[in-house]
Amino acid sequence: MRSPTGMGDYGATMALLKPEARILIVGAPTNRHSPVSWHPDRDDLSGSPGARRGDAESGCVRWLGTAAHLATLARLLPVVLPLGSSMRLPASFAVAVVCCAAGLHAIPVARGDSPPRPSGHPGPAAAKLGTEGATGDGVVVLRAPAGDQVLLRAGVFVMGSSDEEFTTARTLCQLEARQADCRDEWFAAEQAAHAVYLSDYWFDRREVTVARYRPCVAAGVCVAPPYAEGAERFDRPELPVVLVSWNDARRFCAWAGGRLPTEAEWERAARGLGDPAKGVPGRRFPWGNVYNPFLSNHGAFAVDELDGRDGFLELAPVGSFPDGRTPEGIEDLAGNAEEWVADWFAPEYPRADAVNPKGPDMGDRRVVRGGGYPHGSAWLRGAAREKEGPGERAPWLGFRCARDGG
């Protein structure tokens, strides 16, 4: 898996190109402080030597250049292509480079009715490349792939639980088999609802997978999880990596160019903004307010915690529940692997409103969020809070990463 600033399959494609090959790059700068800036009136991409011309369209940058220019540009320009956008590419171009959150991804331009599709890459490089009409001149449409991370814009959201949400948590617990064991105090730490301002941040679309974690171990940076190599239960590329401590998770995210999300960032991703003016929290689950047992890999609050009715008794490949995504396309926030976040756990939220809160300065347990495959519906809510000692390793405990935006 590439790092957020990695080149994806760009390098492999570049190796096949002649220096004079014509290339089109499409994307929109996401960083105003980028060393490359766009000047539409100058019809030029400042900072990219040799750029021929470009045009600005709907806030996007389009740039034409040669392979040599691309090599320079790729090192300089952090860009993102808006999700779902497309472009028409004349037949004279050998390659298009789609710029997205996780880096630059070179895609050979297809000819004819049966264009090749990029293969072997999950996420951004798995771009949809298809023909649009029988144009005869090889015009293709590139559809922007979804990045590995989602940019969540700065704003105020309502964090924590209202009285209504607290009541719902209790009710959901009491609908489970071990209803007599439910305790109100399990949900008390969610209270009370309060306004939180968050700056722009990038948030992983998926839980960190075994495949993505492996290179960090191979690099001698990350600790290998304590399971046997090839173990069917854990060691499959598409599964979330688990049996990782908080420090393991923190170390991986730093290696990948990011950090663990704060608790507030995680909750805003799962619940949305809510209505800060009225103090009303956002949605209850990543997909909406109503629990649906088929939208996540969950368990049960029962003697046997495993529940295979969603298709999985234990871990599921990440992204197995597309209908359980958030509106931004963030997957598996409810269930599958429970997720470490950066903060120390405090048994209650600060009373004051907050700006980019990072939790207590000290503690003995770290917050974990979203519930995992052994957990029942009450623990899958976006507001639910749990905690573990930072050295804990559990078969259902994984993580995802974030990084600062802007």
377 touches Ca ion (CB under 5 A): no
Q: What is the CA radius of gyration of the chain?
A: 23
From the list 35-43, 88-96, 132-140, 366-374, the region that binds Ca ion by CB under 5 A is 366-374
Given the rule CB under 5 A, which of 31-39, 73-81, 166-174, 365-373 is the region that contacts Ca ion? 365-373
User: DSSP letters along 82-121, please?
Assistant: PTT-EEEE-TT-SEEEEEETTEEEEEEPP-SSS-----S-
Q: How far apart are CA 66 and CA 73, in angstroms?
A: 10
| Minimal distance, residue 252 CB to Ca ion, in Å | 16
- Interface map 319-348 toward Ca ion (x if CB under 5 A): -------------x---xx-----------
* Residue 379 contacts Ca ion per CB under 5 A: no
What x/- string results for residues 242 through 261 when contact with Ca ion is judged by CB under 5 A?
A: --------------------
Q: Considering beta carbons, is residue 109 or 270 the nearer one to Ca ion?
A: 270
DSSP string, 23-58: EEEEEEE--TT-S-EEETTTTEEETSTT--EEEEET
Burial of 225 (0-12, 13-18, 19+ CB in 10 A): buried
Which one of 34-42, 62-70, 253-261, 305-313 is the stretch in contact with Ca ion (CB under 5 A)? 305-313
Of 140 and 384, which CB lies nearer to Ca ion in the complex structure? 384
Minimum CB–partner distance for residue 347 and Ca ion (Å)? 23
Render 141-186 in DSSP notation, one character per residue: EEEPPPPSEEEEPPEEEEES--HHHHHHHHHHHHTSTTGGG--THH
Edge-to-edge order in the sheet of strand 128-131: 86-89, 140-143, 128-131
Binding-site residue total for Ca ion (CB under 5 A)? Answer: 8
**What is the closest distance, in whole angstroms, from the C-beta atom of residue 166 to Ca ion in the complex?**
22
| Binds Ca ion (CB under 5 A): choice among 165, 310, 343, 386 | 310
Rounded Cα distance between 126 and 108, Å, is 12
Residue 381's alpha-carbon distances to 175, 301, 306, 345, 354, in angstroms, are 15, 14, 18, 17, 22
Among residues 362, 363, 396, 364, the alpha carbon closest in space to that of 379 is found at 396
Residue 189, CB-side half-sphere exposure with 13 Å CA sphere: 14
**One residue of 168, 209, 297, 377 binding Ca ion per CB under 5 A:** 297
CB-based burial label for 23 (10 Å; 0-12, 13-18, 19+): buried
- Is 359 an interacting residue with respect to Ca ion (CB under 5 A)? no
Q: Candidates 123-131, 214-222, 272-280, 304-312 — which segment interacts with Ca ion by CB under 5 A?
A: 304-312
Nearer to Ca ion, 89 or 208 (CB): 208
Per DSSP, the three-state class of 365 is coil
CB of 201 to Ca ion, least distance (A): 18
Nearest distance, CB of residue 391 and Ca ion, angstroms: 20
Site string for Ca ion, 64-93 (x = CB under 5 A): ------------------------------
**CB nearer Ca ion, residue 20 or residue 232:** 232
CA distance 155 to 197: 6
Distance CA 161, CA 348 (A): 11
**Out of 370, 374, 376, 382, which residue is the one contacting Ca ion (CB under 5 A)?**
370
Is 262 a binding residue for Ca ion by CB under 5 A? The answer is no
Instruction: Supply 342's token pair.
Output: 């950066």
Region from 121-129, 146-154, 220-228, 293-301 binding Ca ion, contact rule CB under 5 A = 293-301
What secondary structure letter does DSSP report for 226?
S
Of positions 312, 321, 379, 396, contacts Ca ion by CB under 5 A: 312
Binding site for Ca ion (CB under 5 A): 297, 307, 310, 312, 332, 336-337, 370
